[in-house]
């Protein structure tokens, strides 16, 4: 009986071992078959990714020299639009190009207040809509008051309380936005244009090769801040100012502003190329732009002695109205006021910056900003080891 039991147990153990071996074989077989399919799929994917990677590497090696705008690297190049303009687009029927044979090629931009509405209207009416886009910067926020003017609907209106034209220009006139405009008029609002024709002006600018310019001022009717801007009778263009006595002399050997290569900031005109440079020089926080005028020559696309000038034959009147930051009693009249200055003068900071006059405070802030900008320029020149001053040699020759 004992032998029988031993035989039974042994047989049972063999059966369990056989079952276990069979189970292991089945599992291994299933794993092996599955692994074949997985391996084939994995190898297929590897091959696919390998082809893609090879293509990417090939493209990469052939496109390293491509210059793409920052942020557009993930887009196909054909869909990237690098620049824009201020042309208004219709809500429908865009296939007809809005009925315009060709878009305007120049831009007139001004900071304006409702009190100078009559003056601004006369300025804009001088600039033909076929050649100029008009952009108004409303520093008083009163945009609706301009809607009755015939040209208002085609103008671009931007509003921000108590901001200067340089503040607006830095934020809304990036070179990529105004890239289609050949010339940019960045004017104050207190300008008389009775003797000014924009088309004739641009014809002279192109003929003379002026990249940065301004119309001359009528000295009999204008507030003149610097004699370089005064109109010379019988002249078409002048680039140089002469002062042979006293301090700050200017003669034929002068090579630096304000003797030469300089315009004022009330009515500058920039070529497209020069504006691409000037925009980068405008500081975000220095909104009055005092001091910028002395460095404009660096943006003249060549020699500032030749490429910066004042146009005499198409001249304007600088009314010198206390507009932004000025008195509230100033009202628009049909005949714009013009008080001839008793003498030519250079602007200076007010003697009482803490007085009640907001205009005096604005002038003091402008003077402070000029000093800040001057120091920033000096620091930038000192710290940029790669920058070479193209006018340093001229300055040294003048000193010698």
Q: Would strands 212-217 and 269-271 be described as parallel, antiparallel, or unpaired? A: antiparallel
**Token reading at 373:** 């900008």
Average pLDDT over residues 203-213: 98
Give the domain ranges of the chain. Answer: 101-399
Helices (runs of H) and strands (runs of E) counted in the chain: 8, 9
pLDDT number for residue 103: 85
Average pLDDT over residues 212-219: 97
Contact 102, 178 (CB under 8 A): no
pLDDT number for residue 89: 84
CA 342/CA 307 separation, integer angstroms: 32
Q: Taking the model in full, what pTM does it have?
A: 0.76
By three-state DSSP, how is residue 316 classified? Answer: strand
pLDDT number for residue 332: 37
Kindly indicate the confidence band of residue 353, based on its pLDDT and cuts at 50, 70 and 90: very low
Q: Which of 90-94, 211-215, 295-299, 316-320 has the lowest mean pLDDT?
A: 90-94
pLDDT number for residue 65: 53
Q: Which of 89-98, 131-140, 239-248, 269-278 has the lowest mean pLDDT?
A: 89-98
Peptide linkage before 46 cis (omega within 30 of 0): no
Kindly indicate the confidence band of residue 322, based on its pLDDT and cuts at 50, 70 and 90: confident
Task: Specify the higher pLDDT residue, 288 or 90.
Answer: 288
Contact 217, 319 (CB under 8 A): no
Which CATH topology does 101-399 take?
A: Spore Coat Polysaccharide Biosynthesis Protein SpsA; Chain A (3.90.550)
CA 275/CA 176 separation, integer angstroms: 11
Determine what percent of the chain is predicted with pLDDT higher than 70.
71
pLDDT number for residue 44: 57
Q: 175: exposed, middle or buried (C-beta count within 10 Å: 0-12, 13-18, 19+)?
A: middle
Backbone angles phi, psi at 312, to 5 degrees: -85, -35
pLDDT tens, position by position, 257-311: 999 999 999 999 999 999 999 999 999 999 999 999 999 999 999 999 999 999 9
pLDDT tens, position by position, 37-48: 544 555 555 455
Q: Which among 391, 90, 351 is positioned nearest to 257, based on CA atoms?
A: 391
Average pLDDT over residues 126-155: 97
Query: Using alpha carbons only, what angle is made at residue 210 by residues 207 and 213, rounded to the nearest 5 degrees?
Result: 125
pLDDT number for residue 246: 80
Average pLDDT over residues 309-325: 90
The highest-confidence range among 68-72, 84-88, 145-149, by mean pLDDT, is 145-149
pLDDT number for residue 219: 93
Average model confidence (pLDDT) across the chain: 82
**Token reading at 386:** 């790669």
Beta bridge partners of 212: 270, 308
Average pLDDT over residues 101-125: 94
Task: Specify the higher pLDDT residue, 50 or 334.
Answer: 50
Backbone angles phi, psi at 29, to 5 degrees: -65, -45
pLDDT tens, position by position, 1-35: 544 455 444 455 565 556 666 566 665 565 555 55
Which residues, including other chains, have CB under 8 Å from residue 185's CB and lie 6 or more apart?
A: 106, 107, 108, 109, 127, 132, 198, 267, 268, 269
Determine what percent of the chain is predicted with pLDDT higher than 90.
59
CA 75/CA 68 separation, integer angstroms: 10
> Tell me, what DSSP letter sits at residue 183?
E
């Amino acid at each position: 009986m004992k032998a029988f039991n031993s035989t039974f147990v042994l047989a049972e153990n063999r059966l369990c071992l056989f079952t276990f071996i069979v189970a292991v074989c089945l599992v291994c077989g299933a794993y092996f078959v599955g692994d074949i399919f997985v391996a084939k799929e994995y190898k297929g994917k590897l091959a696919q990714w390998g082809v893609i990677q090879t293509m990417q590497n090939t493209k990469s090696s052939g496109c390293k020299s491509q210059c793409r705008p920052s942020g557009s690297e993930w887009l196909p190049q054909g869909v990237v639009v690098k620049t824009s303009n201020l042309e208004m687009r219709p809500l429908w029927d865009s296939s007809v190009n809005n009925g315009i044979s060709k878009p305007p090629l120049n831009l007139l931009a001004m900071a304006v207040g409702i009190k100078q509405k009559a003056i601004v209207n006369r300025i804009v009416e001088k600039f033909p809509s076929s050649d100029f886009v008009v952009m108004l910067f409303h520093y008083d926020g009163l945009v609706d008051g301009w809607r009755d003017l015939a040209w208002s609907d085609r103008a671009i209106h931007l509003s921000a309380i108590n901001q200067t034209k340089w503040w607006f220009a830095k934020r809304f006139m990036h070179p990529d936005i105004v890239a289609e405009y050949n010339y940019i008029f960045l004017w104050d609002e207190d300008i008389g244009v009775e003797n000014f024709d924009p088309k004739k002006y641009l014809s002279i600018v192109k003929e003379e090769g002026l990249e940065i310019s301004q119309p001359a001022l009528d000295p009999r009717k204008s507030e003149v801040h610097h004699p370089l801007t005064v109109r010379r009778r019988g002249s078409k263009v002048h680039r140089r100012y002469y002062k042979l006595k006293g301090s700050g002399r200017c003669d034929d050997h002068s090579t630096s502003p304000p003797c030469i290569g300089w315009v004022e900031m009330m009515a500058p005109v920039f070529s497209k190329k020069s504006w691409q440079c000037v925009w980068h020089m405008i500081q975000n926080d220095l909104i009055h732009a005092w001091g910028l005028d002395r460095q404009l020559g660096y943006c003249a696309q060549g020699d500032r002695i030749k490429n910066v000038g004042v146009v005499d034959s198409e001249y304007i009147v600088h009314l010198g109205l206390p507009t932004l930051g000025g008195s509230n009693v100033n009202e628009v009249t049909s005949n714009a006021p013009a008080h001839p200055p008793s003498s030519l003068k250079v602007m200076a900071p007010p003697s009482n910056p803490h007085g009640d006059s907001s205009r005096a405070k604005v002038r003091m802030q402008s003077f402070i900003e000029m000093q800040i900008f001057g120091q920033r320029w000096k620091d930038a020149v000192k710290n940029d080891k790669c920058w070479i001053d193209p006018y340093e040699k001229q300055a040294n020759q003048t000193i010698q």
